[in-house]
Amino acid sequence: MSIVAEHEYQAKDYKSDLKPIWCPSCGDFGVVSAIYKALARIGRPPHEIAFVSGIGCSSRIPGYTTAYGFNSVHGRALPIAQGIKLANPDLLVLVAGGDGDGFSIGGGHVPHAIRRNLDLTYILMDNQIYGLTKGQLSPTSPRGLKTGSSFHGSLEEPVNPLLYVLSYGAGFVAQGTPADMSGLADVIEEGIRYPGFAFINVQSPCVTYGQEEQQLRVHKQKMQSLKDLAHDTTDRLKAMALAQEYGIKLYTGVFYRNPEPAATFETAVRELHDRLVPEARLRVDILDTFRPQ
């Protein structure tokens, strides 16, 4: 479904009266501000937007917007968002979560959401730590990291969110950081406008339990725009090569955008429904089928 702005909206129109309770200077403040800006550019009224999240610091975001919000259970934001989109395809549906929520308990839902290709925008705040529960290892924590749950250092290789979703076949994959607010708002807007499943990995630092090299002041020094590299966003293999440097370099912008987006799942479901309805039997006739002759 095309997104057309019918009215003039400002970022403040999407900001609720609920005061965020994140730690001061948390990267998620920048993320939600970028979301407000992106939604204002899209121009859809708040009542036509649904925001779904799981559990975690970043999953508080639906409450900080004036859109419909559903703060679900840990790791289950994607299946709930898919149900909402199928029930009401005209809603603009966004999903928010963290790296633990999305790639630990919720990791099994990611490939299926991608292969179904519903028109969802998944904004994942990746801080390489479990912030809400006091700093344990998360799926994206680097090998060797010492935390309360890994006193001798992590023995596991980290999940690479960018490479995962690219290999699963996502049609839109991007990355941003609150260290570049303008660029972050841009990729969120592009993800929302993409007609299909869009994944945006946001390097959003945890100021309380996060690593020193993951803070915004370091992001400002190390981030590199993919536009400046003249990256071809239609080249999935090149995007995967760049994604291999996750944790080493901080690339920002669009990694991949399918130039020929496939039909969305909700469109296919609606078309199938419309085709079958004229042939559908009456309810009473269906019941007669099961009555003994």
Residue 52: CATH number of its domain: 3.40.50.970
Q: Distance between CA 264 and CA 250 in Å, rounded?
A: 31
| Residue 98 belongs to a domain | yes
Higher-pLDDT residue of 201 and 8 is 201
| Residue 290 belongs to a domain | no
Is residue 7 over pLDDT 70?
no
| Residue 27 belongs to a domain | yes
pLDDT digits (tens, 9 = 90+) for 147-180: 888 889 889 999 999 999 999 999 999 999 999 9
| Residue 278 belongs to a domain | no
pLDDT digits (tens, 9 = 90+) for 78-126: 999 999 999 999 999 999 999 989 999 999 999 999 999 999 999 999 9
| Residue 1 belongs to a domain | no
**Looking at the 3D structure of the chain, how many domains does it have?**
1
| Residue 82 belongs to a domain | yes
Q: Domain of 255?
A: 11-261
| Residue 287 belongs to a domain | no
| Residue 161 belongs to a domain | yes
